[in-house]
Amino acid sequence: MTDTARTQASKARAMKRLRKRRAADGRFRYYGLSAILTALGALAVLIFTIGSQALSAATYHVVNYDITLDPAVIAPEGAGRPEDISRNVEGFYGLVRDNLIATFPEAAKDRASRREVADFVTRLAVLPTAQMVAEQPELVGTRITLTAPLNDDLDLYLKGQGVRERKLGVGAIAAIKGEVEGGYRVTGAGAFDAVVAALAVAAADLPADAAEPGVLLTAGPSTGRLTEISAGSGHLELLTGNIKDFARLQSKARLIVALESERTISDQQIAWTLALKDMGRIERVPRKTLLTNSDSTYPELAGGLAAIVGSLLTMLVTALVAMPIGIFAAVYLEEFAPKNRVTEFIEVNINNLAAVPSIVFGLLGAALYINFLGMPRSAPLVGGLVLALMTFPVVIIASRAALKAVPPSVRSGALAVGASQMQTVFHHVVPLAAPGILTGAILGMARALGESAPLLLIGMVAFVGDVPRSPTDESTVMPVLIFSWSNNAERAWEPLTSAMIIVLLAFLLLMNGLVVFLRRKYERRW
């Protein structure tokens, strides 16, 4: 074989090999790309699920009650002082319940109905109004509009997140006839075609022995339970309102698959809620209480104010302890420390402390501060000290990096004009490193703000209904509140917890934004 032929053969081999290598190269790049996309995708899913939940909790439904502040109820004989009024929850609550019963006379018929209507509003929801009246006693005897949040389950129902239902169109109802055993026979040619079809679909999905889904028929403020449905007629049991509405107004049917006994809200409550909505007494408003109320056992009343204040107090303690200690320690290690074993040991210690699991600091706090020094449990003071121990290594590491970045020429310049080393450091080096030190400190604080595990161990997980006023008061913090809320069983806590997470993330974003701003503004490279 000639040389050229041989080279040609080896060239072909090389080309074949090259194609394989190129394919491997492409695969490798694709692995990298999919790794990044996986990470970003996980972040997107996390933000999206929590964000969308939070969005639904950002507003809630409130009900307006026009009530007359009857002095006999609000300020009875011997209990007319403002502090009595502000504590008279039963009185105000009674007015609200009476108002509901006046609106829905059928609610008065038995104890069960009275309880159902009473569920619309929790007792504590009237407290702000009671306090307002206590401050303005001249309101007693007048007519006011009391606004209170709707029961959390009904709130979810109105948002379409609680009980699942299908809304169906209904044809015109031609005739309504009272029936002997109670209820009415409603008829109209093909009026319930859509309902019959939907029921057939629902039945196909359900096991054979399951009960038939419930159907509610609504016309304006009136609602009834529809049974014995055929295309042209059905039996209607009026739950609330006036039967004539069904002849007069366009009706709508709601198909609810979940059995009434398995739901948190009854057909009757749904009927009343729809009626209130039709009367324009239910409004969807921003949930300001998330930031102005403290914790509560009722989701519709719960807010994060106490935890936000608790977090701020805790951070205050952490900052006051961790920042000076961290910065001074960094200055010592970077500018003064002789290179010896003690210094080296300190450095190893700092690097290790930054990697010790946070919960270990919680154990330290419980043993040292609470058991040994007898400091109060659940207090921001102790929480802040625990977080300070956790944060100061981070501050030291960041500060040292910032100090290291200051060029030696600055130091020699200052020393050359006769400044002492201490003067050199504090007049020249530290001010130049200040932005870097500050950003490091803020990042450390941001980490501390999101920390919860060590605080659980020193009792900051307790239910705190009052806003703490000093660092020794019982308190909780935002991340721990999120943890507590996520443990609650009721469905309404989920969006609320998400909303609180968004509040916490907003704080963190603010701190990180500050860091970015400081870096942009002051960062310099030598």
Partner 1 sequence: MDWLLIALIAVFGSSAFFLGRMRAERLLMSTAGRMHSRPNYHGYYVAMWATVPVLAIALSYAVFGEMLTRGQLARELPSSFSRLSPAELQSYLDSVRLAAGSAASAGADRVFEAITNRYLELRGLVNAGTLVILGLVAAFGIVWGQSRLKSDFRARALVENGMELVLFLCAGVAIATTAGIVLSLLYESLQFFQKVSAWDFLTGTRWNAQTEAEFGALPLFFGTFMIALIAMLVAAPIGLFSAIFLSEYASQTARAWIKPILEILAGIPTVVYGFFALLVVAPGIRSAAIWINETAIQLGLASEPILAAQPTSALAAGLVMGIMIIPFVSSLSDDVINAVPQTLRDAAFALGATKSETVQQVVVPAALPGIIAALLLAVSRAIGETMIVVMAAGKSARISMDPTSDLTTITVQIVSLMTGETGFDDPKTLSAFALGLVLFTVTLAFNVVALRVVKKYREKYD
Partner 2 sequence: MDTSQGNPMMDDSITPQPTKDGGPRIDCRNIKVFYGQAEAIHDVSMSFPDRAVTALIGPSGCGKSTFLRCLNRMNDTIENCRVEGKILMDGEDINDADVDPVLLRSRVGMVFQKPNPFPKSIYDNIAYGPRIHGLANGREDLDAIVEKSLRRAGLWEEVKDRLSAPGTGLSGGQQQRLCIARAIAVQPEVILMDEPCSALDPIATARIEELIDELRNRYCIVIVTHSMQQAARVSQRTAFFHLGNLVEMGDTGQIFTNPREKRTEDYITGRFG
Q: Which residues bind partner 2 (CB under 8 A)?
A: 1, 3, 6-7, 9-10, 13-14, 17-18, 21-22
Q: Which is nearer to partner 2, 33 or 509 (CB)?
A: 33
The answer to the question of residue 35 lying near partner 1 (CB under 8 A) is: yes
Partner whose footprint covers residue 10, from partner 1, partner 2, none (CB < 5 to 8 Å by kind):
partner 2
Helices first, then strands: H and E counts in the chain: 21, 10
What part of residues 144-183 is at the interface with partner 1 (CB under 8 A)? none
428-447 footprint of partner 1 as x/- string (CB under 8 A): ------------------xx
Instruction: Tell which one of 479, 496, 499, 503 touches partner 1 (CB under 8 A).
Output: 479
Contact range with partner 1 by CB under 8 A, out of 25-33, 224-232, 255-263, 290-298: 25-33
| Shortest distance in whole angstroms from residue 413 CB to partner 1 | 19
291 binds, among partner 1, partner 2, none (CB under 5 to 8 A by kind): none
Near partner 1 by CB under 8 A, which window of 113-121, 255-263, 405-413, 448-456? 448-456
Distance CA(150)–CA(62), nearest Å, equals 5
Given the complex with partner 2, which of 15 and 506 has the nearer CB atom? 15
CB of 518 to partner 2, least distance (A): 29
202 forms part of the interface with partner 1 (CB under 8 A): no
Return the closest-CA partner of residue 383 out of 399, 365, 398, 396. Answer: 365
Minimum CB separation from partner 2 for residue 526, in Å?
Answer: 23
Instruction: Decide if 212 contacts 201 (C-beta within 8 A).
Output: no
Distant-in-sequence, close-in-space partners of 455: CB < 8 Å, separation ≥ 6: 314, 362, 383, 386, 387, 461, 477, 479, 480
Residue among 243 and 316 whose Cβ is closer to partner 1: 316
Q: Which residue among 153, 245, 295, 451 contacts partner 1 (CB under 8 A)?
A: 451
Give buried/exposed letters for 158-168 (b at 16+ CB in 10 A, else e). bbebbbebbeb
Nearest approach in angstroms of CB 1 to partner 2 is 5
**In this structure, how many other beta carbons lie within 10 angstroms of the beta carbon of residue 91?**
21
Distance set, CA 14 to CA 25, 174, 217, 432 (Å): 16, 87, 78, 59
351 to 380: interface string for partner 1, x by CB under 8 A: xxx-xxxxxxxxxx-xxx--xxxx------
CA 183 vs CA 164, 256, 426, 437: distances in Å? 26, 20, 88, 77
Of 10 and 34, nearer to partner 2 (C-beta) is: 10
Residue 79 binds which one of partner 1, partner 2, none, with CB within 5 to 8 A depending on kind? none
Residue 136 binding target from partner 2, partner 1, none, CB below 5 to 8 Å by type: none
At 320, list the tokens: 């006051």
28 binds partner 1 (CB under 8 A): yes
Q: For partner 1, which is the closer residue by CB, 121 or 443?
A: 443
Assigned token pair, 257: 């698959």
SS3 60: strand
Q: Which helix (H) or strand (E) holds 147?
A: strand 143-149
Q: Which does 345 bind (CB under 5 to 8 A by kind): partner 1, partner 2, none?
A: partner 1
Least CB distance from residue 27 to partner 2, whole Å?
15
Q: Does 419 bind partner 1 (CB under 8 A)?
A: no
Question: Cα–Cα distance between 4 and 10 in angstroms, integer?
Answer: 10
Residue 447 contacts residue 391 (beta carbons within 8 Å): yes
Under the binding rule (CB under 8 A), the answer on residue 412 touching partner 1 is no
**Cα separation, 280 vs 278, whole angstroms:** 5
If binding is defined by CB under 8 A, does position 348 make contact with partner 1? yes
Of the residues 155, 378, 392, 414, which one makes contact with partner 1 according to CB under 8 A: 392
Cα–Cα distance measured from residue 218 to residue 210, given in angstroms and rounded to the nearest whole number: 25
d(CA 505, CA 523): 25
- 422 is a contact residue toward partner 1 (CB under 8 A): yes
Dist. CA 139–CA 65, nearest whole Å: 16
With beta carbons less than 8 A apart as the criterion, state whether 271 and 103 touch: no
Farthest CA pair distance, the chain: 123
What residues are paired with 225 via a beta bridge? 216, 237
DSSP string, 185-236: EEE-TTTTHHHHHHHHHHHHHS-TTSPPPEEEEEETTEEEEEES--SSEEEE
Give dist(CA 158, CA 220) in Å, integer: 16
Closest separation in Å from C-beta 36 to partner 1: 5
Choose the one of partner 1, partner 2, none that binds residue 80, judging by a C-beta under 5 to 8 angstroms depending on kind.
none
CB atoms inside a 10 Å sphere around CB 277: 17
CB of 54 to partner 1, least distance (A): 11
Minimum distance, C-beta of residue 463 to partner 2, in the bound complex (Å): 56
What's the closest the beta carbon of residue 6 comes to partner 2, in angstroms? 5
Q: Which is nearer to partner 2, 8 or 52 (CB)?
A: 8
User: Which of 7, 10, 297, 349 forms a contact with partner 1 (CB under 8 A)?
Assistant: 349
Q: Which is nearer to partner 2, 3 or 181 (CB)?
A: 3
Task: Report the amino acid identity of residue 11.
Answer: K
Q: CB 4 → partner 2: shortest distance, Å?
A: 10
Identity of the residue, 36 or 175, whose beta carbon is nearer to partner 1 in the bound complex = 36
